[in-house]
Copies of this chain bind each other. A is one copy, B any other.
Amino acid sequence: MKKPLYVSLANAIKNNISKHQYQTMKLPDERTLAEEFAVSRSSIKRAIQLLADQGIIFKKQGSGNFINPLFLRNKTALDYTGDNVGLTTSIVTNGKQQQIEVLNLDVVKPDAAIKENLFLTADDFVYSFKRLRKLDEVPILIEQSYIPVKVFPQLSKKLLEHSLFNYLEDQENTIINRAYLDVTTEPSSVEDQDLLHLKTTEPVGIMAGIFFVDDGTPFEYSSMRLHYRYLNFSTFVNLGK
């Protein structure tokens, strides 16, 4: 589990920025940095690319690399770790305890939309299940999911009572680490209001999408209806090079 050089370099540069090592909002140029750290310019470039992907710095060809002022002010919002891709999509948990209530589990014939989303042929069956997630016993999210029987036949109600993805990673050596997600919002339905304790005027946020195993196999189609206070989606949009 050795970290690549460029990750260490990126961390070193990040530290220097945090400690206001650089007097201006501009980093030293890449050739100078390469000399200072005694590495090739390519490695510096890779490190800087990483920082740019994380929104910590902005690159501007011909002019230099610039520190994102947001990073200086509010490090936590940008302090990514490990494999993060520069996008934070999260249910605001604040370290509270999570509970899962399994509302139902069935095997059904998928309708056309589900079939298309999971790339199934006519004969495939899917598990269909609904779960209610809570934080410190406060309900925050209704999840309706579909998983093809053939990709995970051993699914059971017992397994659903805890995080499926953690189980897969720990017990089955299968990592679900890609997803295509669609975020929208809608007025709450009667069921939403009931389960999530919402007033009629209060909406739900919806996150729906396909989750993939890392070799591209579609694993699950899921539609999550969130209590509106728990939908929060932060991201950098970075159209610069």
Are B216 and A187 within 8 A (Cβ)? Answer: no
Q: Whole-angstrom distance from the CB of A141 to the nearest CB of chain B?
A: 13
Are B181 and A25 within 8 A (Cβ)? Answer: no
CA–CA, A3 to B132, complex, Å?
50
* Range class of the A interface residue count: 35 or more
The contact of A185 among B63, B85, B205, by CB within 8 Å, is B205
Q: Whole-angstrom distance from the CB of A118 to the nearest CB of chain B?
A: 10
Instruction: Assess A177 versus B238: contact at CB under 8 Å? Given A216-B69, A228-B203.
Output: yes
Contact residues, A187-241 vs B (CB, 8 A):
187-188, 199-203, 205, 210, 212, 214-216, 218, 228, 231-241
CA–CA, A89 to B199, complex, Å?
29
Task: Spell out A's residues near B (CB within 8 Å).
Answer: 25, 55, 58, 60, 63, 66-70, 73, 77, 83-85, 87, 89, 116, 119, 175, 177-188, 199-203, 205, 210, 212, 214-216, 218, 228, 231-241
